[in-house]
Amino acid sequence: MHGRIFFMQKRWNVLESCPPEFAAKCGEIHSVVPHLLWHRGVRDPEEVERFFNPDYESGVHDPFLFTQMRRAVDRVFEAIRNEEKILVFGDYDADGLTGSAMIVSQLRDLVQRLSSNAIIETYIPHRDEEGYGLQMPQVERFAGQNIGLLITVDCGIACPKEVEQLGKQGTDVIIVDHHQYGEDLPDAYLVHPSVPNETYPFKHLAAVGVAWKFVSALIQAAREQ
């Protein structure tokens, strides 16, 4: 057995190449890309142009289409003006890390622009030692740290008990997430594309996409100040 490699038998279904005239109209892009676009329903040069150069003013949904986005954004500005401590609690995977970094960066920029002494901190749990999502031991450790607002990124929607305990400790919670939820939703500001009664039209955002919408709403609100 030593030194031998065994492969599972797989059946590969290879799609036909896109029409050569379509590939020729796609311009100077890698030869594989026209085939990928074609089999994803992009069939004419105008669609290709929109795919690579989207109009972010007219081709992207307004972040305030999220049902609770305005309330969540208002709570952030309240925390900054009141110089509260804000903790960004992000998941440890690529989705959570990038979303957390984006939100922390924008919060720190707002603190500076508003000449506030609000404190922005980050907490990323250890994958092996702490596991996924908000855990009660973490929540208990946060007690006494004077955290006015906690923002979860890529987690939190399935943690109603932990959020309830945070509320008892005097901490409000904004949940920026996209995961499945249980029967009971957390008593928090929910920025999530697919919770019940959510009006945001696109339901399949990754967590970093939801975080981007949250940051976009913060920037838009700052311009309105």
Q: Would you tell me the crossing angle of helices 94-113 and 69-81 to the nearest 10 degrees?
A: 50
Q: Which residues of the chain have pLDDT under 50?
A: 1
Confidence (pLDDT) at 10: 76
Q: Structure tokens of 91?
A: 């998941």
* Every domain range in the chain assigned CATH 3.90.1640.30: 63-224
Alpha-helical runs (H) found in 143-197 = 160-168
The pTM of this model reads 0.82
- Percent of the chain past pLDDT 70, that is, above it, reads 96
Pair of tokens at residue 123: 């907490």
At 14 the pLDDT is 78
Report the C-alpha gap between 37 and 47 in whole angstroms: 9
- Domain 63-224, CATH among 3.40.710.10, 3.30.420.40, 3.90.1640.30, 3.40.50.300: 3.90.1640.30
Residues 161 and 102: beta-carbon distance below 8 Å: no
Instruction: List pLDDT tens digits, range 36-89.
Output: 989 988 888 888 888 888 887 777 899 999 999 999 999 999 999 999 999 999
Residue 1 is predicted with a pLDDT of 46
